[in-house]
Amino acid sequence: MFGQVRILVIDDEESMRDSCRQALARGASRVEVAGDGRTGLGILEKEAFDLVILDLKMPGLSGMDVLNIIKEKYPEIVVVVITGYATVESAVEAMKCGAYDFLPKPFTPDGLRQIVGRALERKELTLENILLRSELKASFGSEAIVGQSEPMKEIEQVVRKVSPTDTTVLISGESGTGKELIARAIHYHSDRRDKPFVVVDCGSLVESLFESELFGHVKGSFTGAEATKYGRLELANGGTVFFDEIGNISLSVQTKLLRVLQEREITKVGSSQVIKVDVRVIAATNRDLQKATQEETFREDLFYRLSVVPITLPPLRERQDDIPPLANYFLKKYNQKRKKNIRAISRQAMKTLVDYNWPGNVRELENAIERAVVLTENDTIEPSDLLYYGLNAAMPAQSDADTPRSLVDVEKEHIARILKMFNGHKGKTAEWLGIDRKTLRTKLKRYALE
């Protein structure tokens, strides 16, 4: 009835504890009981629960005191208050202090199950709202893999085989090749499709706050921790966590992430409470993690845990057959998004796209098509619509056609021209190229263009 739900009953009457346990045991994964408030709080310190059924009238620490402590330390826990001394005043006071609802004794097993069911629905909605506010949940359609090349056909087969399982997947490839699209496709075709898909951008999170973002923290655990925070892993419970650019995390965080993969449990920063999490892990990297393990910058045991099923995405320049279907896909997408009615990409414009080396991969292609859709005044995209954006910068002039040029030289010249076009502004250059700023910085350093 309640799935993987953990319930704690705190009541000084043994018969009431037993009745609650029997009424809820079939529907919950675990029901624990405590005979007084202090024992109940001690259990909460050691283990995470979804819901607490709390008697208001108990010797020693009162139910109202316990309620206040629970809402202060564990605000995510839903509390249902029960008492044999049902008065309007006590009900109102309990609700003001954060109780979800109030159930007077005596009550029937069905009555208890109904109120617990409603309380758990409220909890799920609360977590969903947090997720939406954090912009972590992503909706996704089925057209994740667009392409007709043999490498992409093979990747699509792997995606369809691995999706229904909970196997951990490691996706490798250059920046912009579509690693997150593949991760979303795996999630979309899995049994977890109706649960959250949560992205952890390992390249952008500040190292000092990484653990807090990943595991969450309790109020007062460090300077600035003014409220209890849900970590990404807790928000993804039941769904999929996607670690983007996982090669950027430190060795200390790697150790803690390895424990999550092994034990499927986390502990918030500043807390000793263990929280069980049910998540599927998909990771992506543009680094050679095997080489990183040899250099001892990435844990070998974590690498093998992550790469149960490895998927390597080839760069766009190595699968030119995919450029026409991708370009047409993006044309259709941005026609709808920008409310335009551009009929097609001309044959010569398509040849221009196919001949270009795309250092920013699929992301750069998508940006180029979007810009062409927005700015062209014709009903067909022509080479002039594309060359305006610098695609010709990487192509040799006709007089140089007989002189072979390396891909490195072509890319270096193209980046240098676009950087000059924006007067050295790296942010605009990266956006124009369709790559992130970190990738641009790496290339500028490699080509001595800084």
Give me the sign of the Cα torsion angle 421, 422, 424, 426.
Answer: negative
Which pLDDT belongs to residue 419? Answer: 83
pLDDT at position 149, please?
A: 86
How much of the chain, in percent, has pLDDT values that exceed 90? 30
Average pLDDT over all residues of the chain: 83
Q: What pLDDT sits at residue 395?
A: 45
Q: pLDDT confidence of 244, banded at 50, 70, 90?
A: very high
Of 194 and 187, the structure prediction assigns the larger pLDDT to: 187
Q: What is the mean pLDDT of residues 35-64?
A: 90
254, pLDDT greater than 70: yes
pLDDT of residue 166: 93
Contact between 216 and 268 (Cβ < 8 Å) = yes
Mean pLDDT of 225-234: 77
SS3 419: helix
Q: What is the structure's pLDDT at 398?
A: 42
Q: Regarding predicted confidence, which is higher, 158 or 137?
A: 158
Lowest mean pLDDT across 78-92, 205-219, 295-309: 78-92
Strand segments (E) across 257-373: 265-267, 274-276, 280-285, 309-312, 344-345
Give the pLDDT band of residue 308 (cuts 50, 70, 90): very high
pLDDT higher at 226 or 101: 101
CA triple 180-186-192, angle to 5 deg:
115
Confidence of residue 138 (pLDDT cuts 50, 70, 90): very low
Report all structural domains of the chain as residue ranges with CATH numbers, in order of start.
6-133 (3.40.50.2300), 150-312 (3.40.50.300), 316-446 (1.10.8.60)
* pLDDT one-digit tens code per residue, 379-426: 999 888 886 545 654 444 444 444 555 667 777 887 888 888 777 888
Residue 345 has pLDDT above 80, yes or no: yes
3-state secondary structure of 317: helix
Quickly state the pLDDT bin for 79 (edges 50, 70, 90): very high
Instruction: Find out whether 215 and 267 touch, Cβ atoms under 8 Å.
Output: yes
3-state secondary structure of 54: strand
Residue 264 has pLDDT above 60, yes or no: yes
Q: Give the per-residue pLDDT at 312.
A: 95
pTM value > 0.85: no
1-15, 23-37, 221-235, 393-407: least confidently modelled range? 393-407
